[in-house]
Amino acid sequence: MPIPPLSHATTFVGRMTAWVKSHPQETWGDLTVLLPNSRAITFLKTELEVGARPGTWLPELSTLGQWAQGRTGLKSPPQLELLLTLYEVAQSFPADCGLPEWSSFDAFNMWGRCALGDFAAMENHWGAGGLTPSLVFTNLQKIKDIESWSFDSAELTVDQQRFLAQWDMLCPLMERFTERLAEHGHALPGRILRDCLATDISGKNVLIGGFNAMTPAEKNVLDALRSSGATVLWDSDRSIVDNPAVGAAFVRQHATATENSAIPDQLQHGERTLKAVRCSARSMQTQYVQKVLRERLAEGQTDFRRTAVVLPKADLVPQLLLALPEGLGAVNVTMGVPLNMTPVADFLFLALSLAGDAPRFRHDTLRALLSHPITRKLHPEVPREERQLLEKMTRKFIFSVGQTDLEGMPHICRALGPWLDIKSSDRATEHFVGALCNWADGNALQALKDPWL
């Protein structure tokens, strides 16, 4: 029995599927869909296969790099092969050329990875702002911007001379390395994309979707395809793109007005039900997931591809895989961000540490709390008095701060209200937590745009 399609134009895969299905099936073989990775290709391929007539040619589904390799005939070898080629080229230079001496490939490995990364970045940025290897790997003694490094001194130290000699060899090394790759029909990804631009590119019947990061070389190819008729879909939501505090600057920067207007607005609409469950241990979370999925299987749910299991950390994946019930099929497992990696966790740690110090507060913990983003957002007047407090602490050699030390600083006193009001009692912790909740509750907190806070 075939897997039923997602059939939701509201999903990004659904939007791409709708684009393909807007063309007659007999013409699908003439279409090209460029995606950021093989995972997206698998999802789209599965969706298109359902409902397609027997013998239907699917569109060419490819990443931008693979597509460019097909257009140019060049291949980008695996990193190990690239490192071996670079090692062979580097060893062909004379011993006194300025490059380091390596006794073996293992000794070369770390240096080679750094050099290979620089060469790949150079290929990706070639031509951006007139950038070329000869311009990047220029003589450091001619660069006035780094005079603080003392490379403009009349006499250089032995280490500086050795570094300059090595630096001056990077451009010749990259040129010979590129030539060696070309002899075997190989090239770095950036070079393949640049060579692709020299071919007869047409964006007709091309869909580009899901990119959230691009090198300048990739952007040049995308712009060429877009200008010649390609359709571009962005995997985002209106609530994200329109919010400057959310990390969608890439979409805002690269989407045209037409593409931007096609981005759906779905996250802020629709009914949601949240249920909090207390688990005695992290591993018990996977057992609860198993319980929920078993219940849905018993209720007759057969397609779990739109069911997302979001884990707090990757180390729970093996336990979850063992806990998944039989007959489940495909399920979407992804990673969330643990609370201890957010500014909220830092703030709570500082808040509890400061509470433990009451009625006098350690200067380092106090300053960290006052300068924390959450405190700054809820009490924006505090920075005006922080310098005054620091000067007073320095002048009077104050290492622990009490309420009397904060006289004349009303904004800091207001910000420290929950901590200054701590009283010794059996319910001190309960009172402090309640005061802290009241301190963080109000219009200022609700007006915060930063999703981290």
326, 425: one domain:
no
Inform me whether the pLDDT recorded for 202 exceeds 50: yes
For residues 253 and 140, the model is more confident at 253
For residues 15 and 159, the model is more confident at 15
95, 168: one domain:
yes
Nearest to 34 by CA among 185, 231, 287: 231
173, 99: one domain:
yes
Would the pTM of this model clear 0.85, i.e. be above it?
no
pLDDT category at 8 given cuts 50, 70, 90 is very low
Q: Which domain holds residue 288?
A: 284-336
Residues 276-304: tens digit of each pLDDT: 888 888 788 889 999 999 998 889 888 88
The rounded distance, in Å, linking the Cα atoms of 272 and 287 is 23
Domains of the chain: total: 3
The per-residue pLDDT for 448 is: 60
Distance, CA of 164 to chain centre: 34
329, 385: one domain:
no
Q: Which of 54-68, 103-117, 415-429 has the lowest mean pLDDT?
A: 415-429
- Mean per-residue pLDDT for 221-239? 90
> What backbone phi and psi angles, to 5 degrees, belong to 61?
-105, 120
Q: Is 259 domain-assigned?
A: no
Inform me whether the pLDDT recorded for 245 exceeds 80: no
Residues 350-391: tens digit of each pLDDT: 888 888 888 888 888 888 888 888 888 888 888 888 888 888
For residues 398 and 21, the model is more confident at 21
- Mean per-residue pLDDT for 427-447? 68
The per-residue pLDDT for 247 is: 62
Domain boundary among 300, 315, 336: 336
Q: How many CB atoms lie within 10 A of CB 45?
A: 14
For residues 331 and 445, the model is more confident at 331
Q: Is 415 domain-assigned?
A: yes
84, 182: one domain:
yes
159, 175: one domain:
yes
Percent of the chain clearing pLDDT 70 (strictly above): 86
* SS3 (DSSP) at 226: helix
388, 330: one domain:
no
The rounded distance, in Å, linking the Cα atoms of 313 and 337 is 7
Q: Is 116 domain-assigned?
A: yes
> What's the DSSP call for residue 75?
B
Tokens of 126: 């070639």
First-residue to last-residue Cα distance in the chain = 47
Residue type, 187: A
The rounded distance, in Å, linking the Cα atoms of 254 and 226 is 11
The answer for residues whose C-beta is within 8 angstroms of residue 194's C-beta and 6 or more apart is 123, 126, 127, 217, 220
The answer for residues whose C-beta is within 8 angstroms of residue 203's C-beta and 6 or more apart is 224, 225, 226, 227, 228, 229, 230
The per-residue pLDDT for 444 is: 57
The answer for residues whose C-beta is within 8 angstroms of residue 333's C-beta and 6 or more apart is 308, 309, 311, 317, 320
Inform me whether the pLDDT recorded for 206 exceeds 70: yes
Tokens of 359: 């009625």
347, 323: one domain:
no
312, 407: one domain:
no
Q: Is 43 domain-assigned?
A: no
Inform me whether the pLDDT recorded for 208 exceeds 90: yes
Instruction: Write down the residue that tokens 């069911």 correspond to.
Output: 307
The rounded distance, in Å, linking the Cα atoms of 370 and 192 is 51
306, 370: one domain:
no
Percent of the chain clearing pLDDT 90 (strictly above): 24
The per-residue pLDDT for 276 is: 85
328, 375: one domain:
no
Residue 178's Cβ-side half-sphere holds a number of Cα atoms within 13 Å equal to 16
Under 8 Å between Cβ of 66 and 95: no
* Torsion angle defined by CA atoms of residues 197, 200, 205 and 209, in that order, rounded to the nearest 10 degrees: -10
For residues 152 and 160, the model is more confident at 160
Q: Is 368 domain-assigned?
A: yes
* Torsion angle defined by CA atoms of residues 426, 429, 435 and 436, in that order, rounded to the nearest 10 degrees: 180
For residues 120 and 155, the model is more confident at 120
The rounded distance, in Å, linking the Cα atoms of 209 and 172 is 38
Domain boundary among 186, 206, 223: 186
Q: Is 5 domain-assigned?
A: no
- Mean per-residue pLDDT for 36-59? 88
- Mean per-residue pLDDT for 35-46? 89
pLDDT category at 154 given cuts 50, 70, 90 is low
Reduced 3-state DSSP string for 93-159: CCCCCCCCCCCCHHHHHHHHHHHHHHHHHHHHHCCHHHCCHHHHCCCHHHCHHHHHHCCCCCCCCHH
316, 394: one domain:
no
Residues 117-148: tens digit of each pLDDT: 989 998 888 866 666 777 666 655 454 444 44
Inform me whether the pLDDT recorded for 177 exceeds 50: yes
The rounded distance, in Å, linking the Cα atoms of 114 and 112 is 5
Q: Is 219 domain-assigned?
A: no
Q: Is 59 domain-assigned?
A: no
- Mean per-residue pLDDT for 315-325? 84
Domain boundary among 167, 186, 205: 186
Inform me whether the pLDDT recorded for 451 exceeds 70: no
